[in-house]
Every structure is written in structure tokens, then in C-alpha cells.
């Protein structure tokens, strides 16, 4: 083997190792972020979500990040599952639906409709509502195709209608005692 070939092979192996290390590092960082989204402190959860969004902006495409964050939908900590749903909402608001393959994420959200924690169920519903706002009726058809029980699908219908038909921001809509309400500050219709 010639000396030039040895250098070329050495450089190739170095590049492959670097790529492997970067991919492994990103995956590890994202798994730690999912854990931090389940932290007891609100500030830590918020910073973890902001870092995930910043990674989507500066380090990798949003779908690459979501391929790794999707493991958080099955995390043992309910706050992590809720945080991943809220991060999905923020991703949709920042990058739109075209940057994600939502057909990979909707089944995870459908599984969370039956979660034992009500905060996770509500976050999953809000995420589906946000997806609905971005891509429309295809979501409802997908939910029906996946066999979501009618009671759960009906629970989604109310937020769908609130989000799509009412001119109020989502923060003005809240669920109390099993019913959806507009908060007191949202009593007036905003100017268009």
C-alpha cells in the first residue's frame, strides 16, 4: 500500500468516527433533554424545551430531532410525556407542519389519549389540535382510521372546534371539571 493511500484511509476513518460520534452525541443529548422535560421545576422544563427548539434551528432538521424525541412519548415520567407534547406544539408553531412527518408522531399522540395522567391526555389533545390547525381534516380522518374510540374522538372534537372556529387564542381556553371554558380575560372578541 502506498503512503498516500494510508493517509486517505486514515482521514476517511477519522471522518467516519467524527460523524458517528456526532450522531451518538446528539442522540444522547436529546435523551437527556427528554428527562429534563420531566423535571420538577418549571424553569428546567422550559429550558429543556428551548434547547430542543434551538437544536432544531442550529444543529439538525426538526424531523431528525423528532425521530429521537419520539421516545419521550413512552417515557416513564408523566411530566416528560407532557413536555414532549408541549415541545411538539412549539415545534409546529415555530417551524410549521411541512418540517415534520406528522404521520410518524400522530400514533404516539393517539396512545397518549389513554394515558393514566390527565395532564398528559390534555397535552396530547392540544398537540392533535395544533396539528389539526396546521393540516386540517386529514387529522380527523387519520384518528378515525386508527380506531380511536368515539368518546376520545368526541373529546378531541371540542378543542378542534374551539381552536379552529373561535377567534380566541388557545391560552384563553381551559378545561375545568371536564368542561372547556374561556377564561375571563378573553371575553371580548379580538379585532381582525
- 23-54 per-position pLDDT tens digit: 666 677 788 889 999 999 999 999 999 989 98
pLDDT digits (tens, 9 = 90+) for 92-113: 999 988 989 888 898 899 889 8
pTM, two decimal places = 0.69
Question: What residue ranges in the chain does DSSP mark as E strands?
Answer: 173-176, 179-182
Q: Do 103 and 142 touch, CB atoms closer than 8 A?
A: yes
3-state SS, one letter per residue, for 95-151: HCHHHCCHHHHHHHHHHHCCCCCHHHHHHHHHHHHHHHHHHCCHHHHHHHHCCCCHH
Q: Which residues of the chain have pLDDT under 50?
A: 1, 3, 150-151, 154, 164-168, 180, 182, 184-192
Amino acid at each position: 500500500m502506498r503512503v498516500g493511500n494510508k493517509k486517505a484511509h486514515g482521514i476517511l476513518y477519522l471522518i467516519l468516527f467524527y460523524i458517528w460520534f456526532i450522531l451518538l452525541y446528539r442522540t444522547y443529548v436529546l435523551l437527556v433533554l427528554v428527562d429534563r422535560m420531566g423535571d420538577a421545576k418549571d424553569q428546567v422544563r422550559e429550558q429543556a424545551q428551548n434547547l430542543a427548539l434551538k437544536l432544531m434551528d442550529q444543529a439538525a432538521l426538526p424531523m431528525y430531532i423528532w425521530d429521537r424525541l419520539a421516545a419521550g412519548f413512552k417515557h416513564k415520567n408523566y411530566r416528560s410525556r407532557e413536555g414532549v407534547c408541549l415541545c411538539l406544539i412549539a415545534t409546529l408553531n415555530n417551524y410549521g407542519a411541512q418540517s415534520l412527518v406528522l404521520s410518524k408522531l400522530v400514533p404516539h399522540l393517539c396512545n397518549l389519549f389513554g394515558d393514566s395522567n390527565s395532564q398528559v391526555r390534555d397535552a396530547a389533545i392540544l398537540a392533535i389540535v395544533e396539528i389539526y390547525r396546521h393540516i386540517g381534516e386529514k387529522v380527523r380522518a387519520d384518528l378515525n382510521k386508527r380506531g380511536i374510540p368515539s368518546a376520545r374522538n368526541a373529546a378531541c372534537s371540542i378543542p378542534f372546534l374551539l381552536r379552529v372556529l373561535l377567534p380566541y387564542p388557545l391560552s384563553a381556553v381551559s378545561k375545568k371539571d371536564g368542561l372547556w371554558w374561556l377564561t375571563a380575560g378573553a371575553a371580548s372578541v379580538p379585532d381582525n
